[in-house]
Structure 1
Amino acid sequence: MDKGLLERSLVLVDGEEDALTRRFYDVLFTRYPQVQPMFSADVRPQAAMLRQAVIAVIEHLDDAQWLESTLHALGARHEGLGVTAPMYAAVAECMIATMQERGGPEWTPAMSAAWTEALGAVATMMLAGYRDAESVA
């Protein structure tokens, strides 16, 4: 994964007060309205947590142990909240679409490819935690 490209592209699209992640939820709820009931009416706290999680993942890209343990636990938690495996692809799709929108003409296909790879890896690790939670239940 190209950590530098991920960092640069995140700086391009990340705004003050969780602008990226707040807009992400607008896009997600527009494209997938069936998931909106899973969230509170005020998504600002969730947007702030998502932003922090994205930043933490990028900061720890070189720490496989941290990524695995953190994302497995996060996946298990999301499984408990009713998140299904297909929702991970929807989240990635909407996050990349939001990034493209916010990046405007400076957003490149290479940035989309880097985020597709990164979000796919995150989903794989979270789903492993999801499956671990299922096997314990």
Structure 2
Amino acid sequence: MTPEKITLVQDSFKKVAPIAGPAADIFYDKLFELAPQVRPLFPDDMSEQKKKLMQMLAIAVNGLTKLDEILPAVQDLGRRHNGYEVTPEHYGYVGEALLFTLGKGLGDDFTPEVKEAWAETYGVLAGVMIDAQKAAAA
């Protein structure tokens, strides 16, 4: 990831953070619309899960300039997903829901460049999680 893309992701996330609650609602609504089969993997009461999502995003986004420091936490999260019955295919739905949410939350500020930066960021982090998950399962 280039420094410019990192800046685009970090600056755009600052605009989403104030609407974290509604953004989490949009995200999970879209995720369950795209992949209804994943709904049973989550608790009935999603309030804590939504907070965790936004906290993890904040940690990841803020840590992009020092990726080597956050990678162990990202890998650990990937390994923990084995216990949640998450499959590598689920990550695609999550990425799609994330980009949809950012588009809704940022409106006109979700430019093609911002979208590309977020897609690359998610791809890198999801790849790390998937690799860690597969290694732990092996």
Q: TM over 0.5, yes or no?
A: yes
Tell me, in whole angstroms, the C-alpha distance in 2 between the residues paired with 1:86 and 1:97.
18
Unaligned segments of structure 2, at least 5 residues: none
Identity among equivalent pairs (%): 30
Aligned equivalent of 2:22, options 10, 19, 22: 19
Conservation of the 8 A alpha-carbon contact between 1:22 and 1:43: no
Which residue matches 2:86?
83
Tell me, in whole angstroms, the C-alpha distance in 1 between the residues paired with 2:14 and 2:62.
13
Could you list the per-position Cα deviations for residues 64-113 of structure 1 after superposition, in whole angstroms to 9, with x for gaps in the alignment? 33232111110000122100001111100111011101212222111110
Three-state SS of the structure 2 residue aligned to 1:47 is helix
Unaligned segments of structure 1, at least 5 residues: none
How far residue 10 of structure 1 moved from its aligned partner, in angstroms, is 1.2
Aligned length in residues? 135
Structure 1 stretch displaced more, 44-53 or 62-71: 62-71
- Asked whether 1:65 is paired with 2:71, we answer no
Q: TM-score, normalised by structure 1?
A: 0.91
Tell me, in whole angstroms, the C-alpha distance in 2 between the residues paired with 1:102 and 1:109.
15
Structure 1 stretch displaced more, 64-73 or 33-42: 64-73
Correspondence 1:114-129 to 2 at 5 A = 114-129=117-132
Tell me, in whole angstroms, the C-alpha distance in 1 between the residues paired with 2:20 and 2:60.
19
Aligned equivalent of 1:7, options 10, 19, 23: 10
Conservation of the 8 A alpha-carbon contact between 2:78 and 2:133: yes
Q: TM-score, normalised by structure 2?
A: 0.90
Q: CA RMSD in A?
A: 1.4
How far residue 61 of structure 1 moved from its aligned partner, in angstroms, is 1.2
Which residue matches 2:134?
131
